[in-house]
Amino acid sequence: CAIDVNLRLPLDLGLAGSEHLAARGGGSIVLIGSVAGRTGGTMLSTPVDYAASKGGLHTIVRWLSRNVVGRNVLVNAVAPGPIKTAMTAGSAVDGSKLPRGRMGEASEIGWLIQGYTAGTIPDYQMAAWLMAGFLRGLTEEETLALVDEMLHSGIVLDLSELPMPKVDKHSTGGVGDKTSLVVAPAVAACGVAVPMISGRALAHTGGTLDKLEAIPGFQTQLPLTQFRSILARCGLCLIGQTEEIAPADRKLYALRDLTATVPFRPYMCASIMSKKLAEGIDGLVLDVKTGNGAFMRREEEARALAEMMVRVGQGMGKRVIALLTDMDQPLGRWVGNGVETAEALSILRGDLTGDLATLCLELGARMLLV
Ligand code: IUR
């Protein structure tokens, strides 16, 4: 059973093998881990003994590697991802549609994301990978592996010490969309904490961080300790991706912008969900834009993105809902970082006329109810 194969055997072999290798002057032991050991399983059919034993296996790897420090033996593990075993039988992926004739492997994606975040994989190689994925597509398994690697490229916050519900919102981006600047403080005033990690402008759409920085002196790069204390004191804090939270998204976000690979569903899903799931939230409201000024011009595309993100978020145990909203014309009356910030303030001061205010009320209400 899984416990014997994934725990007993690697421990017995690892102990005996490391002694043997050390006596011979050194060597390497590579065990087979799994993303399921960290996530609890990416398929509904993943059995609990498999996921739990892979989690234990990762611990054995760390323990064994500590045990052989200084003896020239390297102990490590790889996560080969969805491979054809009795357990994955029935999860249909048409290998003939994939260039390598098989499913993407989590280890390949993990290697790539970790290397890119650490700086050992240069921009030009990552740019090539982004374009390859964009052109040939990613399977659901590969997309989940990408979300997971990006999410765990930094710290995943635990805000359970705050007694109130923690809820965020995120927009897929549009022209004149300054709803976060209105909704975050309004919802915080109702007693819900809003820990918000935002992005910069992407392609033709504006970014919340750039708008905030239109306020002279506004700091969007704060250390985590300050993020937590502002959140506890004010009920909200808006920052950008940092070296600590979702650093992979920070780098990939900028590279997607430069390589024209922004409007690709798996990348959008991984970018948005990795930073949102790292925030320590209980609930999330997604504002998925559709229309001429959005990345998803057609409603079916926007719906598919919304469904993918809801599936990913709910699969990680969060309450997630998505609204599909119109981006056929700019939102509100102003476009530009400074004037949009001023417009957001005028709504907060009570000017509730127009499409922007209506959307803010809708999103805010959903955040309170999610
Ligand atoms: N917002 C994000 O944070 N990431 C994205 O990829 C898009 C919007 I599009």
* Ligand 1 neighbourhood includes 145 CB (under 6 angstroms): no
Q: Is the pLDDT of residue 98 over 80?
A: no
Q: Which long-range contacts (CB under 8 A, 24 or more apart) does 59-64 make?
A: 60/7, 60/10, 60/11, 60/14, 60/31, 61/10, 61/31, 61/33, 64/11, 64/14, 64/15, 64/18, 64/29
How far away, in angstroms, is 182 Cα from ligand 1 center?
A: 19
- pLDDT, one tens digit per residue, over 64-95 is 999 888 888 888 887 655 565 556 656 665 56
* Ligand 1 neighbourhood includes 295 CB (under 6 angstroms): yes
How far away, in angstroms, is 173 Cα from ligand 1 center?
A: 7
Atom of ligand 1 nearest to the CA of 173: 8
CA 121/CA 62 separation, integer angstroms: 25
pLDDT value at residue 222: 92
Atom of ligand 1 nearest to the CA of 256: 6
CA 351/CA 50 separation, integer angstroms: 56
How far away, in angstroms, is 29 Cα from ligand 1 center?
A: 39
pLDDT value at residue 136: 86
Structure tokens of 213? 């920085």
* Ligand 1 neighbourhood includes 199 CB (under 6 angstroms): yes
Answer yes or no: pTM beyond 0.75: no
- pLDDT, one tens digit per residue, over 122-149 is 999 999 999 999 998 888 888 888 998 8
Q: Is the pLDDT of residue 107 over 80?
A: no
- pLDDT, one tens digit per residue, over 18-53 is 999 999 888 888 788 887 898 887 666 788 999 999
Mean pLDDT of 224-239: 95
pLDDT value at residue 86: 56
Nearest CA to ligand 1 atom 8: 172
* Ligand 1 neighbourhood includes 172 CB (under 6 angstroms): yes
Residues marked as catalytic: 170, 249, 256, 271, 275
CA 40/CA 315 separation, integer angstroms: 10
* Ligand 1 neighbourhood includes 202 CB (under 6 angstroms): yes
Burial 57-68, CB ≥16 within 10 A → b, else e: bbebbeebbeeb
Q: If you average pLDDT over every residue of the chain, what do you get?
A: 90
Q: Is the pLDDT of residue 177 over 70?
A: yes
Mean pLDDT of 311-325: 95
* Ligand 1 neighbourhood includes 107 CB (under 6 angstroms): no
How far away, in angstroms, is 171 Cα from ligand 1 center?
A: 8
pLDDT value at residue 41: 78
CA 346/CA 189 separation, integer angstroms: 17
Q: Flag the least confident range among 63-67, 114-118, 314-318, 340-344.
A: 114-118
Non-local (6+) Cβ contacts of 53 within 8 A are 2, 3, 5, 6, 7, 37
Task: pLDDT band for 99, please (50, 70, 90 cuts).
Answer: low
